[in-house]
Structure 1
Amino acid sequence: MSVDPMAYETQFFGFTPQTCMLRVYIAFQDYLFETMLVVEGVMLKKLGGIPGCKISPSQIRKCTEKFLLFLKEHFDKLFSTMEEILLQLVLNIPKNVLLPEDRVKEQYPYSQEEFQALQDELQQLQQQCRAEVAMEQALQAELEEQNVVKAELEKILQCFDGLENICREHGAGNFKESFALLTQSSKKLQDVLKDVEEKSKKMEQYDQLM
């Protein structure tokens, strides 16, 4: 078998030419062995039908193996010639032929430094792309949060509108003025409640001392 790696041919065909030839060789060899077994079976059957035949099956097997060895030696020589022809003419890509994916390199050649610069630029662009995606996700989350707050504010405004309508129905006047008055009253009640709690604590302390 050929020892040439034939990497360019492997890139084009998707398999190594040597592997292809090896499979063809094994296929022919297996077919040769199977054929000889069939021939041996026919010979044994024919000899079994001849009265007084003194040729034993072991002798037939020895003759079959000898003939098989003879055929295999000639087959190996023939296959070696066939392999050389196929690898040089059929499965070989001439040195002056470029694959379609490699023609771009011929049109736009570049050095190792230029390739490294392109790699660095590509890496920077990837980082910028990831940063923009993260920023977009953050803005989307903030927008969703603003929509939630907006919905809550709309609910509060609807509640205020309902309270204002109730105040009008009961003759309470302007809701804003009523709400301000209610806030002041609530504050006064909180102050009174606080004063009561303080006096209650002082009375409890006095009772404990007594």
Structure 2
Amino acid sequence: MSVDPMAYEAQFFGFTPQTCMLRVYIAFQDYLFEMMLLVEGVMLKKLNSIPGCKMSPPQLRKCTEKFLLFMKEHFEKLFSKMEEVLLQLVLNIPKNVLLPEDRVQEQYPYSKEEFQALQDELQQLQQQCRAQAAAEQQLRAELEEQKAVKAELEKILQCFDGLENICREHGAGNFKESFALLTKSSKKLQDVLKDVEEKSKKMKLHDQLV
């Protein structure tokens, strides 16, 4: 069998030429064995029909094996020549022939350095795509968070609107003005409370000194 990998032929045919030749060899060999068994069976019938024949079946089997060995040796010589012809002429693609899917390489040739540069550029683009996808995912998460905050703000505004309506129904005037006045009053109360606490601390400190 040929030791040439014949990878280009395998790409074209879909199988390696060596595998094809091996299958042909096995098929011919199996057929030869079957034919020898068939011939042996016919000869046994003929010998049984001949009166006084002294050849026994074991002797006939030895003769059959010798003949099979002779045929096998000649078959292998013939097959070796047939394999050489088929691998060189039938299952061989000439060096100057390009497959249709490889013709683009002839139209747009490139060196090893150019191919490496393209590989580096492709890797860089892939990294940029991953970074862009991650940024897009982060923006989507922020957008979802903004939607949730907006929903909460809308609830608060609805609550204020309801309070303003209640204030109007009870004659409290504008809710915003009332709320501002309430905030200012609360601030004054906090200042008064703070002043009281400071005076209380001073009085306690004075009592302790006395």
TM-score tier (shorter): 0.7 to 0.9
Distance 2:89 2:134 in 1: 56
Distance 2:135 2:15 in 1: 46
Partner of 1:164: 164
Give the C-alpha shift of residue 3 in structure 1. Answer: 2.7
Distance 1:64 1:92 in 2: 38
Kindly provide the CA deviation profile for residues 2-52 of structure 1, in whole angstroms up to 9, marking residues without a partner as x.
233323212322322112101211122122223323443454456556676
What pairs up with 1:195-206 in 2 under 5 angstroms? Answer: none
Distance 2:49 2:155 in 1: 107
Partner of 2:96: 96
Give the secondary structure class of the aligned counterpart of 1:5.
coil
Distance 2:21 2:31 in 1: 15
Give the C-alpha shift of residue 186 in structure 1. Answer: 5.5
Partner of 1:146: 146
Kindly provide the CA deviation profile for residues 54-96 of structure 1, in whole angstroms up to 9, marking residues without a partner as x.
4333222212211211221222122222212211221110122
Partner of 1:33: 33
Kindly provide the CA deviation profile for residues 123-165 of structure 1, in whole angstroms up to 9, marking residues without a partner as x.
2222222222222222222111111111111111111112212
Tell me: CA distance 1:25–1:170, structure 2 relative to 1, closer, same or farther (3 Å): same
Partner of 1:203: none
Tell me: CA distance 1:89–1:159, structure 2 relative to 1, closer, same or farther (3 Å): same
Distance 1:137 1:20 in 2: 53
Give the secondary structure class of the aligned counterpart of 1:20.
helix
What pairs up with 1:1-210 in 2 under 5 angstroms? Answer: 1-44=1-44, 47=47, 54-183=54-183, 188=189
Distance 1:186 1:69 in 2: 117
Runs of at least 5 residues in structure 2 that lack an aligned partner in the other structure: 201-210
Tell me: CA distance 1:76–1:164, structure 2 relative to 1, closer, same or farther (3 Å): same
Distance 1:159 1:75 in 2: 101
Tell me: CA distance 1:184–1:75, structure 2 relative to 1, closer, same or farther (3 Å): same
Tell me: CA distance 1:162–1:71, structure 2 relative to 1, closer, same or farther (3 Å): same
Distance 1:165 1:24 in 2: 97
Give the secondary structure class of the aligned counterpart of 1:15.
coil
Most deviating of 115-124 and 177-186: 177-186
Distance 1:30 1:190 in 2: 111
Kindly provide the CA deviation profile for residues 91-116 of structure 1, in whole angstroms up to 9, marking residues without a partner as x.
11012211123222222222222222
Distance 2:86 2:171 in 1: 107
Runs of at least 5 residues in structure 1 that lack an aligned partner in the other structure: 200-210
Distance 1:47 1:169 in 2: 129
Tell me: CA distance 1:191–1:3, structure 2 relative to 1, closer, same or farther (3 Å): same
Distance 2:48 2:177 in 1: 126
Over aligned residues, Cα RMSD in angstroms?
Answer: 3.3
Work out the percentage of aligned pairs sharing the same amino acid: 85
Matched residue count: 201
Partner of 1:208: none
Distance 1:125 1:153 in 2: 41
